[in-house]
Amino acid sequence: MRILYALLGGLLAAPCTAQTLIWGYGPADTLPYVEPGRVQPQRGLAPRLGEELSKRFDLPVQFIETPNNRLESYLQEGRLHLICNTTPQWMSESQRYHWSPPLYEEEDVLLQHRDRPPLSDLASLHGRVLGTSLGYVYSQPLMAAFANGAIKRQDVRDLDTSLHMLDKQRLDAVIDMRRNLAYKLNQYPQLQLRFSPWVVERYQIHCAYGPHLPIAAQRLDAVLLELRDRGLISQWLDEALRNAADQPGQQAADAR
């Protein structure tokens, strides 16, 4: 899912110089990947990777929150140099970018209320309301079920609101990346929610490099591959998940 959607808002990236590595991320990106709503995020995998790349290549790294519908155009124009937490099938013009080695595996899963029977497959969602993110593209069978009306899609502005709506049983389930949902459950242990046993889709997460990357793509590939193979990327993701309990969330107003 992701990327093939349009949202307004966010910080517009200014044209950048070759002396800074400009890392773009969308408003819907969240921990454990990146801390949203910060001028320069300090928590999550992306800042840890950025710090390491800055040391390796002797370049400052700047994070720019960018409207999702502009990520690709900014990448092509050089306003951004790379975006991560993505995969080729989410990008409308994936052939225009250099793709890093896979960094880690992710999967789309469901959260549901503890009092409801397990949602074990696509058919178990028929006739139900699924909390989704605006414009996100999901697995082909799920998108087809939205299109034919078998499952009702309800776009919600953010994951915190979705989870509180689910807790109040205003939704039947919520779909997102497993790590994102696990992070939120650690933040909100009072919510009466659990994971469905059904894995909707598995995929590999990559970085996409634009044509104006100030580092040779092969050099960046080699460093990311080293960090992955040493287990550091998995370690940093796990650390961010463990720290969620120290960052308790606030109840979303829309779900009250």
Entry pTM: 0.84
Separation of CA 80 from chain center: 18
Q: Is a pLDDT exceeding 60 seen at residue 219?
A: yes
Q: Which range is least confidently modeled, 7-11, 35-39, 168-172?
A: 7-11
Residues 61-73, mean pLDDT to the nearest whole number: 91
Q: What own/partner pairs with CB < 8 Å and gap ≥ 24 does 150-158 have?
A: 150/125, 150/126, 151/122, 151/125, 151/126, 151/127, 152/128, 154/129, 154/130, 156/131, 156/132, 156/254, 157/254, 158/28, 158/252
Q: Which range is least confidently modeled, 65-69, 97-101, 235-239?
A: 65-69
d(CA 195, CA 127): 19
Q: Is a pLDDT exceeding 70 seen at residue 246?
A: no
Q: Is a pLDDT exceeding 90 seen at residue 136?
A: no
- Residue 72: the pLDDT is 94
Residues 74-88, mean pLDDT to the nearest whole number: 96
Q: Is a pLDDT exceeding 50 seen at residue 6?
A: no
Q: How many percent of the chain have pLDDT more than 70?
A: 88
Give Cβ neighbours of residue 120 (< 8 Å, ≥ 6 apart): 196, 197, 198
Q: Is a pLDDT exceeding 90 seen at residue 242?
A: no
Q: Is a pLDDT exceeding 50 seen at residue 243?
A: yes
Q: Which residue do the tokens 């469905």 mark?
A: 196
- Domains in the chain (CATH in brackets) are 21-104+205-246 (3.40.190.10), 106-202 (3.40.190.10)
